[in-house]
């Protein structure tokens, strides 16, 4: 069972808006056994929309469309759908009442343009939007199901969960698609691939291995397809266990989790707190550690000590250390880590100092030079890295290195 996702809007093509809708839809469909064959973005042109609908219907049984359902002149999805399905616009009374109710709730008059949101093609099944004024629309043509959804993510997600997914499960007899993902750190994609080549070579045709590399990290995902869930789960688990054994040296987690979440889980299990002292990463590590709900049970606080004066006043770094060794040095990050441990009364600390670029490097400390320290009350561990990207990526990579270093440090301490 294949599906295609068509996203509509010039703002997507010029990079003004990032398409998060496709990712949400793809994950949601995959969970119920529908494979995404293609994702296509088109602009606000009727001809391009019609062309995309025609082309995708040749290879997919389900087509999900998002965007272009607003009340303004550049929203042309409904006219294009009328053309494609040989339909005329009519007023849907339930949608009209929904539009009026929403405007009553916010105490605003309903403009004529907003009332047009209740107009839908006369041969569609209307999917009522409980989060907004633009309804979803379900069409069937030549054995293909087409679903048009608003582009506003909050509204699209609500319609997918309450209307689209249940209807698709009723309409089709769907197979099972199962995923198992692990995360490695410290080895490149090619090295990992070479190490697990023998396992990959004997995978059956219904189980696929995917490599998902990032900076310093490689995710490995096994995907299995089949008609019966329980035997498929058992087979996938056996293959996944073998994969984990092969990469055990670099394994971060056997779940599809980001490094900050893994570190948060480790801290929570140990019932310990971390604090951060950041110079070159500018608070980015603190941001990553506090993104998820519940981080107050693992994170005490942090100091962004960018200037040397801040390092001295806020963290107790000795002036003589900065003069003798410089801000980007092992000695400085050690004192930063110890200082933030005391300031925040934490169990663990991370400290970073480096040259992120594009300027600021010297022959002794070129752009990309980074010192990281992790510490507890009894010891400090340091490492020097050289990162090689632009400023933004250098910060991101440094944060990942620091978090993984803390993970390993806690693992050593807590067993």
At 292 the three-state DSSP class reads coil
287-290-293 Cα angle (round to 5): 145
pTM for the full predicted model: 0.81
Q: Which pLDDT does position 72 carry in this prediction?
A: 80
pLDDT in tens, 190-216: 999 999 999 999 999 999 999 999 888
In this predicted structure, the answer to whether residue 372 has a pLDDT above a threshold of 70 is yes
Q: Is 126 exposed, middle or buried (0-12, 13-18, 19+ CB in 10 A)?
A: middle
pLDDT in tens, 147-175: 999 999 999 999 999 999 999 999 999 99
**Are 395 and 284 a contacting pair, CB within 8 Å?**
yes
Start-to-end Cα distance in the chain = 46
What is the token pair recorded at 395? 């910060």
Q: Which domains, and CATH codes, for the chain?
A: 2-171 (3.40.980.10), 176-253 (3.30.70.2860), 259-414 (3.90.950.20)
**2-8 vs 35-42, strand pairing mode:** parallel
- The neighbouring-strand residues paired with 275 are 301, 349
In this predicted structure, the answer to whether residue 74 has a pLDDT above a threshold of 80 is no
């Amino acid at each position: 069972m294949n599906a295609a996702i068509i996203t509509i809007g010039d703002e997507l093509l010029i990079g003004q808006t990032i398409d998060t809708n496709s990712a949400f839809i793809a994950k949601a469909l995959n969970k119920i056994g529908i494979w995404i064959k293609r994702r296509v973005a088109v602009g606000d042109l009727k001809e391009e929309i019609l062309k995309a609908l025609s082309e995708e219907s040749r290879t997919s049984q389900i087509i999900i469309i998002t965007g272009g359902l607003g009340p303004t002149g550049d929203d042309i999805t409904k006219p294009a759908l009328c053309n494609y399905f040989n339909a005329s616009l009519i007023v849907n009374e339930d949608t009209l009442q929904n539009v009026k109710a929403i405007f009553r709730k916010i105490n605003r008059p309903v403009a004529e343009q907003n009332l047009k949101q209740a107009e839908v093609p006369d041969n569609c099944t209307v999917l009522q939007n409980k989060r907004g004024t633009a309804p979803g629309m379900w069409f069937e043509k030549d054995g293909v199901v087409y679903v048009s959804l608003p582009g506003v993510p909050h509204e699209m997600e609500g319609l997918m969960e309450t209307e689209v997914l249940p209807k698709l499960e009723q309409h089709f007899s769907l197979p099972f698609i199962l995923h198992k993902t692990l995360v490695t750190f410290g080895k490149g994609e090619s090295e990992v691939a070479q190490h697990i080549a023998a396992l990959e070579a004997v995978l059956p045709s219904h189980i696929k291995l995917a490599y998902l590399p990032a900076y310093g990290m490689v995710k490995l995902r096994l995907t299995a397809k089949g008609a019966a869930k329980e035997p498929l789960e058992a087979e996938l688990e056996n293959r996944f266990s073998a994969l984990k054994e092969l990469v055990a040296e670099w394994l971060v987690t056997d779940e599809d989790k980001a490094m900050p979440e893994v570190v948060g889980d480790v801290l929570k299990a140990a019932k310990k707190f971390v604090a951060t002292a950041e110079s070159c990463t500018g608070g980015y590590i603190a941001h990553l550690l506090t993104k998820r709900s519940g981080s107050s049970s693992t994170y005490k606080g942090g100091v962004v000590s960018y200037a040397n004066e801040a390092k001295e006043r806020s963290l107790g770094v000795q002036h003589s250390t900065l003069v003798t060794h410089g801000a980007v040095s092992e000695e400085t990050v050690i004192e930063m880590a110890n200082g933030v441990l005391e300031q925040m009364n934490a169990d663990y600390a991370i400290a970073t100092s480096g040259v992120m670029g594009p300027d600021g490097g010297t022959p002794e400390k070129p752009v990309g030079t980074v010192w990281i320290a992790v510490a507890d009350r009894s010891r400090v561990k340091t490492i020097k890295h050289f990162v090689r990207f632009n400023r933004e990526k250098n910060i991101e990579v440094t944060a990942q290195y620091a978090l993984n270093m803390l993970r390993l440090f806690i693992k050593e301490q807590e067993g």
